[in-house]
Structure 1
Amino acid sequence: MDGMWKEFRTFIARGNVLELAVGVIIGAAFSTITKSLTDDLIMPVVGWLFGGFDFSSYFIRLGPIPASYAGSPDNYAALKAAGVPLFGFGQFITVVINFLILAFMVFLLVRAVNRAIHVVEHEKKTGQAVPAPEPEDVKLLREIRDELKRRNEGA
């Protein structure tokens, strides 16, 4: 048992496990952002473009509505909260759209990282780094300095 505990501590102490934990936490936060992007920005625009089209309103009620329920029979969230069994294919479509957006964002992130890695590897092979372009404010300051030197030399 003691050997297994040591092995477990070694496993947990590895950087990969900690990086995975950080990735899961950031992924959960990223998922929340993606859900908001879909629910609050993309789906309302889609609904507006298609004349009030709302995916969440597409469901099939699989059971009776309780007598105590006073809400709308077309409100998916309220019916679900009331315990009515629902086949929510509209909500599923929204989740699929969330996934596609998230997958595309991850693709863009991985693509950017791969390009950065490619540049670094190229620099290692050639032995020279690609110089970063000089910022405009540095250029301007250099020109001012040179002009002041030129004026002082002429005076």
Structure 2
Amino acid sequence: MFEEFKEFIAKGNVMDLAVGVIIGGAFGTIVTSLTDDVIMPIVGAIFGGFDFTDYFIPLSSDVTASTLDAAREQGAVLAYGSFITAVINFLILAWIIFLMVKMVNNMRRKEEAAPKVPDAPPADVQLLTEIRDLLKK
């Protein structure tokens, strides 16, 4: 049973999937930082200097705070600003993945369209072909 498991893990698809998950997680962190630290401050500045992350609707009368973190400590809140940030984060990530898949598909099409040069025949076949041609003369 251990040998079967070892064979399963060693297969290319499982290893490719593991690498993809790890790289995807790291890439997701980069996109989250891009969204939170670069894009959302610019969008906030364009729309009057506000920060989307502190946009919320209190769901309890006990909530009087002006920041999301403080409001969450006081009670239930509907954090729609965080949701907007997550949606923008997703759209950026989906767009980048789309561009990557498109690039790979274009590369595959170019490989398929390129004329394939036949391999040179082995040396013994070349020698026999030359002998045949000489005998014909």
* TM-score bracket relative to the smaller structure: 0.7 to 0.9
Report the TM-score when normalising by structure 1: 0.67
- Partners of 1:77 and 1:34 lie apart in 2 by 22
The alpha-carbon deviation at position 13 of structure 1 amounts to: 1.8
Residue 39 of structure 2 corresponds to which residue in structure 1?
42
Equivalenced residue count is 116
1:47-86 mapped onto 2 (5 Å cutoff): 47-63=44-60, 64-65=62-63, 73-80=65-72, 82=73, 84-86=75-77
* Cα distance in 2 for residues equivalent to 1:89 and 1:15: 42
Q: After superposition, what is the alpha-carbon deviation per residue over 1:1-54, rounded to whole angstroms, capped at 9, x for unaligned? A: x4xx44333322211111111101100110011011111111111111111132
Secondary structure at 2:83's aligned position in 1? helix
Gaps of 5+ in 2: 118-137
Letter in 1 for 2:101: V
Aligned CA RMSD, in angstroms, stands at 1.9
Q: Secondary structure at the match of 1:74?
A: coil
Cα distance between partner residues in 2 of 1:36 and 1:118: 34
The equivalences for 1:129-144 within 5 A come to none
Identity %: 51
Q: Does residue 1:11 correspond to 2:8, yes or no?
A: yes
After TM superposition, give the deviation of residue 74 of structure 1 in Å: 1.2
* 2:123 counterpart residue number: none
Gaps in structure 1 of 5+ consecutive residues: 66-71, 129-155
